[in-house]
Structure 1
Amino acid sequence: MNGVIDKLLDRLSQLENTRRPWESHWREVARYVAPGMAYHDMLEAVGGTAARPYGALEAPNIYDHTSLMAIDRLAAGEISLVMPASATWHTLKSSDPFAGDPDDEEKRWFDDLTRYAFRMRYNPVSGFTLASKAAVKGRAAFGTSVMYVEERFGQGLSSPISYRHVPLLENHLATNFEGVVDTNFRVFRRTARQCVERWGEKCSEKVRRAAEDAKRQETPVTIVHAVMPHPDGERATMRYVSYYFERDEKHLIGQGGYRSFPYIVFHWNREHQGPYCEGPVSLALAEIKSVNMLSKQEYIATQQWVNPPTAQRDDAPNAPNLNPGAPNPGLLSETGELLIRPIITQQRPDFARAVIEAKQNQLRESLYVNLWQILIQNPQMTATEAAIRAQEKGDLLGPSGLSLQEGLARMVDREFAILESKGVFRPGAALGAPQSLEGREIGVAFTGPLDKMRRAGEIVGMQRVLELAGMMAQMGHPEALERFDMNEMLDIAQDVHGAPRSIFRPAAEVEQDRAKATNLQQMLGSMDMIRAGGEAAKAAAEGGKALGATGPDGALDPEKFALMLQGAVGAGEAEDQMEQIP
């Protein structure tokens, strides 16, 4: 086993060298933007907790909190646009681009599966809400963030998956040829007691003894979780191989595998194939530093202006007492002039404040804060103006939202891989797939507010075409309305607005009711004809009897009645001809 551990440590050393240029940058970003995240620094973390309150110690060195508030506002704005907790921000569909439109049964199954996925995620015990929020904030601050999606055993289908945000400094990532992250050597620390609680007898003897000793059970242990592609590639049942081992003891704790990559990596804007990228804070870091420097000088200038230093004669008998109401004998000359003066040179706190506010506005714009101030800055704008500004906001955040959705799509794939391994989609199961979808891959279609902004033009376009067709119908061309497929328009509106498919009745049920209505109409028409025919027969019988067109039994004789009608018609034609003679 030592040979395996040595190879893993060599690979970890390579990944550490690749990551090292990023580490100082991440710590600097954390200092000014997310000091609460910096406590995860491996040089200061002990037992998974902070050896010192890093954020509290850095707080005195931060003189302007614009960047701290801006990064929280940016993360909250992205969550509200892409994955709001109060809405269903994605649906499901077949990944096959040539599969055609799903039928009603498939759409309803996709809706049922989507509702289950959201109930599963937002179950408080799953940890998704906290993990996703930290991942989005870390992505905005550092450009890269990681979330671990793990299968939970023995929890049933109410919460089969757990989600945890993994601090960026714990991860050592690598990508494949396509630039997709497929390797992670996660280095983290836990106490000896926690390790034995998690792995039991699989821990090394040294760790187990420390856990049994009340004085040493909180001793930190460095653990490495290595996940990489299986050497056998696609032929292997598990696509990724996994190792847990103690770094210092070179002790292998466990070996296993995953069907899908368990670490979901979110990027802000990747312009290369590397595993790490920069976020908006990287571009604004110089501005953040300058604002902090100016704010510090503003504090100093304000203190000098409010409580300035003093100048006095060398032979002054006493040091001045500047407390309110304090007597200062000997500090007046014989002519009544003060023998002490405040030293005020060029202190201008107001000028410093004007420069700082200008830089703060630039910083807010760099971190997209201005996009969330639409209604606050101008509460009197019309609904049309608000809609236009909202559309602009969606356009500006579109690229960022798409990169976030790329990570979320990988998360959904990971979730369904876990659910499939649990047999959730088997025929007869609670979420058994329709026969038409067996063996087909499932994909995700995002329907959050950002996506609705993109597709809002479809609804507006349909409304305008309908208005034009209505005008044409009023102008004497009603056939214009006959060209519309109302069912298709409703399907498009339901898809754009993200409404559940359950608001529509099943197509088969609608067709069945339509057939019943048609049959009923035909029956009513037949009854009208029978009723009309019966009344005509009764009138003909009475008229025939009056004209003598009856048989010996008193019933209407058809032949006699026909001859009489023929004669009547002939007489009528003759009368018409006589009327035409001049």
Structure 2
Amino acid sequence: MSDSPDSKLCDALLQRYAQGKTTRANWDGAWSDVATFVLPRKRDTVAQPTNGIINGPARSQQRFDVTATDACRTMAAGLLSSLVPAGELWFRYSPRPGASNAVSKWLDDCTHRAATALTASNFYLAVHECLIDLSGFSIEGMFVEEGLAFEGKGDLLNFTQVPVGTFVIEEDAEQRVDTFFRTFFWTARQAVQKWGVNALGKEMREAFESKDPARQAQKFELVQAIFPRRPGDYRDGMVAADRRPVASVYIDVLGQHILENGGYYEMPVAVARLLREDNMIYGTGPSDEMMAEIRMLNMMRRDFLLAMELQVNPPWLGPNGNSWRPDNRPGGIIYWDTSNEHNKPERLRDTARLDFIDPAITDSRQIIRSGFFNDMFRLLSNPDVMKRDKTAYEVAQMVQEKLVLFHPMFARITRELLTPVLTRIFNVLLRRGAFLPPPVVDGEPLDYEINYVSKLALAIKVAQTNSVALMMQMLAGMVQFDPASAHVINWQKAAVGIARNHGVPAEWLRDEDEIAEIVRQQQQAAQMAQAEQAASAANQLAGAAQKLGPKGQDAAVKMLGG
């Protein structure tokens, strides 16, 4: 290899990628178990075939129960419908407190334009695959790119689910994934379509120019390295790809050749871990915690099926040395030597108690489904079903209990998957002019925050609302002993928080200045009404005094102590 800057960069990145695979090796075994017992169709990608060939759905000879698979897919579907439901507005770009009405309206328009772009793209297809990976492997990777619409064809945005087992990650000082290496396999023809012939290395160019169909179909391993550039290696503002803050380098592994050295304005990949414990940078989740139960259920199911088969088709007992053949067909005839009654073949009856196994299997299935939060998503999607056997209060308590356990996972999904994706979408659409021109307000930045208003997000936020409602009931008794206790809570801020927790759009809420003006007007109106009432009372007293006459007025003055 030469000593050119590109060669040194290529060598350094490939060594870094190899070290990342070594670090990831501890998780490869766990992912293999998940691919065997939970998500068998992910087997080939987790095994990382060196030729890039995926053999299709796996037919595992070790799997005798599909409960874990169904529970994992139910969790992924529940996350999709409760967290990012297609056809519904599940997020908002909301203004910071104190923002002007112009900025609020502009961000609301941006929200609807971004939601339309998501619906028109392949986002919901890709995010479902990501949520399956997240539910099963406890980690996912989503690649967010500009669509071909900016070139006159296709959609505004394009999303790619990066299969587990094909990427390695590194974290920054705040435990956020800021470095991402992924491997994939392309033919030379595909590489030419993206980068052109001149970008190819020697081996890939020979395959492209070859007349041999086998050489033309040859797949080459490519590695894309995405990492933050060091200060001084990039520039702010609109710059060329190789001067942007986040580097993107495509490498032909066989040829040790850089195909492209570009970059992005922000991190284009969102890597989420369902849970992260200690130094487990690749995360953990239900599959890891339930794997012992999943394996045990699989063995119990296998033994149950074997025992049941022995009951239905038990083995035969026959005399030693005889040449008779058992015939298990309906209506079949078995010939035996009738000269000796002891030679008569008979069935070996199994006396195993199968009724003991079924309850154990049912219990294991329930444990696995509960571990994948199937009962929580069932409650969220159709609480009326549970109300047939339980009261509404009991159902609400069950939902809150499950939400408390799920909240850490929800926080990671929003922080590591949804927020980076929505931030990237906002920046891409803003740069490309898909939004209206932002309003120009002197001294006001266009800051925003992302609020989630999906069913699951609101259910978690409602817990705060319930605590306020409970506090109001308690304060009703406290104020009888100490009226000052009613002022412990800032009711104005509490009302705003409750409205937001229930998904009320920010543009529907009055800001503090508007509320202060309304309060001022009400106080002014009350003072005027009080003054009018006092003047009216004075006039009435004056009229009454005139009717009393001089003697009556003197008597009234004496009674009042005047």
Q: TM-score, normalised by structure 1?
A: 0.76
Counterpart-to-counterpart distance in 2, 1:406 and 1:240: 19
User: How far has the Cα of 1:310 moved from its partner?
Assistant: 0.4
Letter in 2 for 1:247: V
CA gap 1:233/1:381 in 2 versus in 1, 3 angstroms: farther
Counterpart-to-counterpart distance in 1, 2:398 and 2:378: 10
Q: Which of 98, 110, 114 matches 1:113?
A: 110
User: Structure 1 residue 184 and structure 2 residue 185: aligned?
Assistant: no
Name 1:306's counterpart in structure 2: 312
Name 2:448's counterpart in structure 1: 442
Contact 1:139–1:145 (Cα < 8 Å) also in 2:
yes
Counterpart-to-counterpart distance in 2, 1:436 and 1:394: 43
Name 1:545's counterpart in structure 2: none
User: How far has the Cα of 1:369 moved from its partner?
Assistant: 2.5
Letter in 1 for 2:409: S
Name 1:403's counterpart in structure 2: 412
Name 2:347's counterpart in structure 1: 342
- SS of equivalent to 2:179: strand
Name 1:148's counterpart in structure 2: 143
Name 2:98's counterpart in structure 1: 101
Counterpart-to-counterpart distance in 1, 2:466 and 2:173: 43
- SS of equivalent to 1:10: helix
Name 1:379's counterpart in structure 2: 388
User: How far has the Cα of 1:576 moved from its partner?
Assistant: 10
Counterpart-to-counterpart distance in 1, 2:370 and 2:51: 38
Counterpart-to-counterpart distance in 1, 2:58 and 2:306: 22
Counterpart-to-counterpart distance in 2, 1:350 and 1:295: 13
Counterpart-to-counterpart distance in 1, 2:119 and 2:22: 38
Counterpart-to-counterpart distance in 1, 2:263 and 2:150: 20
- SS of equivalent to 1:443: strand
Contact 2:34–2:136 (Cα < 8 Å) also in 1:
yes
User: How far has the Cα of 1:333 moved from its partner?
Assistant: 6.3
Counterpart-to-counterpart distance in 2, 1:176 and 1:576: 90
Aligned length: 517
CA gap 1:276/1:486 in 2 versus in 1, 3 angstroms: closer
Counterpart-to-counterpart distance in 2, 1:503 and 1:459: 19
User: How far has the Cα of 1:464 moved from its partner?
Assistant: 7.7
CA gap 1:494/1:343 in 2 versus in 1, 3 angstroms: same
- SS of equivalent to 1:232: coil
Contact 2:103–2:446 (Cα < 8 Å) also in 1:
no
Counterpart-to-counterpart distance in 1, 2:27 and 2:115: 35
Name 1:363's counterpart in structure 2: 368
Gaps of 5+ in 1: 476-480, 515-568, 578-582
Q: TM-score, normalised by structure 2?
A: 0.78
Two-structure CA RMSD over aligned residues (Å): 4.3
Counterpart-to-counterpart distance in 2, 1:286 and 1:470: 51
CA gap 1:183/1:471 in 2 versus in 1, 3 angstroms: closer
- SS of equivalent to 1:221: strand
- SS of equivalent to 2:361: helix
- SS of equivalent to 1:455: helix
User: Structure 1 residue 14 and structure 2 residue 14: aligned?
Assistant: no
Could you report, residue by residue, the CA deviation over 1:22-48 in whole angstroms, capped at 9, with x for unpaired residues?
21221221111111222224642645x
Could you report, residue by residue, the CA deviation over 1:454-507 in whole angstroms, capped at 9, with x for unpaired residues?
3325655777899999999xx9xxxxx9xx999978755542221335667999
Gaps of 5+ in 2: 1-5, 237-243, 481-485, 520-545, 555-562
Counterpart-to-counterpart distance in 1, 2:311 and 2:387: 36
Could you report, residue by residue, the CA deviation over 1:266-309 in whole angstroms, capped at 9, with x for unpaired residues?
01111235531222211211221121122122221111111111
Contact 2:178–2:228 (Cα < 8 Å) also in 1:
yes
Structure number with greater Rg is 1
CA gap 1:138/1:433 in 2 versus in 1, 3 angstroms: farther
Name 1:269's counterpart in structure 2: 275
User: How far has the Cα of 1:66 moved from its partner?
Assistant: 0.6
Name 1:207's counterpart in structure 2: 204
Letter in 2 for 1:73: T
Letter in 2 for 1:453: A
Contact 1:148–1:163 (Cα < 8 Å) also in 2:
yes
User: How far has the Cα of 1:261 moved from its partner?
Assistant: 1.3
Counterpart-to-counterpart distance in 1, 2:467 and 2:326: 80
Name 2:125's counterpart in structure 1: 130
Counterpart-to-counterpart distance in 2, 1:100 and 1:272: 36
Letter in 2 for 1:151: E
Name 2:80's counterpart in structure 1: 79
Contact 1:304–1:347 (Cα < 8 Å) also in 2:
no
Counterpart-to-counterpart distance in 2, 1:246 and 1:35: 30
User: How far has the Cα of 1:415 moved from its partner?
Assistant: 2.2
List aligned pairs for 1:116-515, cutoff 5 A: 116-123=113-120, 125=121, 127-155=122-150, 159-201=155-197, 202-212=199-209, 213=211, 215=213, 216-232=215-231, 236-237=235-236, 238-273=244-279, 275-314=281-320, 316=322, 318-330=324-336, 332=338, 339-374=344-379, 375=383, 376=385, 379-407=388-416, 408-423=418-433, 430-435=436-441, 439-456=445-462, 459=465, 491-501=496-506
Name 2:64's counterpart in structure 1: 63
Counterpart-to-counterpart distance in 1, 2:203 and 2:261: 20
User: How far has the Cα of 1:263 moved from its partner?
Assistant: 1.4
Contact 1:92–1:442 (Cα < 8 Å) also in 2:
yes
Could you report, residue by residue, the CA deviation over 1:217-261 in whole angstroms, capped at 9, with x for unpaired residues?
221011111111213368633222221121101122111111211
Percent of residue pairs bearing the same amino acid type: 24
User: How far has the Cα of 1:68 moved from its partner?
Assistant: 0.4
- SS of equivalent to 2:58: helix
CA gap 1:381/1:277 in 2 versus in 1, 3 angstroms: same
Contact 2:167–2:181 (Cα < 8 Å) also in 1:
yes
CA gap 1:66/1:154 in 2 versus in 1, 3 angstroms: closer
User: How far has the Cα of 1:10 moved from its partner?
Assistant: 1.8
Letter in 1 for 2:408: P
Counterpart-to-counterpart distance in 2, 1:469 and 1:68: 49
Contact 2:76–2:132 (Cα < 8 Å) also in 1:
yes
- SS of equivalent to 1:56: coil
CA gap 1:574/1:459 in 2 versus in 1, 3 angstroms: same
Letter in 1 for 2:165: L
Contact 1:89–1:448 (Cα < 8 Å) also in 2:
yes
Letter in 1 for 2:403: G
Contact 2:337–2:344 (Cα < 8 Å) also in 1:
yes
Name 1:37's counterpart in structure 2: 42
The more displaced of 340-349 and 402-411 is 340-349
Contact 2:141–2:164 (Cα < 8 Å) also in 1:
yes
Contact 1:128–1:163 (Cα < 8 Å) also in 2:
yes
